[in-house]
Amino acid sequence: MILTVTLNTALDITYRVPALTPHASHRVSEVRERPGGKGLNVARVLSALGHESVVTGFAGGPTGAVLRDLLAPLAPRDALVPVAGTTRRTIAVVDDASGDTTQLNEPGPIVTPEEWATFLTSYDSLLRGAGAVALCGSLPPGIHVGAYAELIRRARGAGVPVLLDTSGEPLRRGIAARPDLVKPNADELAQLTGSREPLRATRDARRRGAHTVVASLGPDGLLAATADGVWQATPPAPVKGNPTGAGDSAVAGLLSGLVEQLPWPDLLARAVALSAATVLAPAAGEFDAAAYEDLLPLIAVTELAAAA
């Protein structure tokens, strides 16, 4: 079983409009609602790849009830912890004319110390059956900034490999707790290291504590600094569509590859192909299966150095 943690779950709402124009009214051509938050997206992709997955984190209020209702018929098992506050919504507006997406993210509910303690008890129990764990996304109000570092230490104490996908100070604190893998994007990596040169920044991030750093470079694919070498995996061409959830699908590819013990080139190719196939899908947490199969053999993986 692969456990995904989404402390700040969301009800993802995607609107499609013919063209998005500032200061104008718009007729929405399509609306989709999905259970969201980075870890829930990761779990849904893992399930589609054939891996048993369990989601935990927090859910509350009327929005949280809708999220859990939408999650119920899906493959990931719901182990979310109830809170008194209301789960946030995220709004994605897809502009059909340009292919661009505008994202609006609410902050999330305030989590009390008692609710956090309840979550930790549940988390420790879930770790006992986990083959890997992913810690994903932002922290809701009320959760201390070192929360991911605490969860990493607990996972490592239980002997469970752990992946961290967050940003800002939670990333800085978390990476010092020595996760097995971190997956920042280019902006998050630059904020962490102060460098915009991807290879230098990725190696610097690894020296800060992570065993492996896989940086998301957008249309340029993934750059991985590992104990065994440095690789870059690149799609054959940029794809247009809704990029929401593309990074989460990459995380699912990385996690599934780690559990299956794939060699790094194969693992990175899977992650990039899944990410690109997600851009072509209608909503986060989904990927175009046919496009994924077509793209996978076309991903170029180049070894940049023998060791990081």
Catalytic residues: 248
Short-list 104, 113, 115, 106, CA closest to 87: 106
3-state secondary structure of 308: coil
Contact 165, 183 (CB under 8 A): yes
Task: State how far the Cα of 76 lies from the Cα of 42, in Å rounded to an integer.
Answer: 10
Short-list 301, 133, 176, 132, CA closest to 229: 301
Cβ neighbours, 10 Å, residue 74: 18
3-state secondary structure of 44: helix
DSSP 80: P
**R_g over Cα of the chain:** 18
Query: How open is the CA angle 197-230-211, to the nearest 5 degrees?
Result: 95
Question: Quick one: CA torsion of 54, 56, 60, 65, rounded to 10 degrees?
Answer: -10
Residue 136, Cα to own-chain centre: how many angstroms? 5
The pair of three-digit structure tokens given for residue 293, joined into one six-digit string? 């199969």
Q: Which residue has the tokens 């996304």?
A: 137
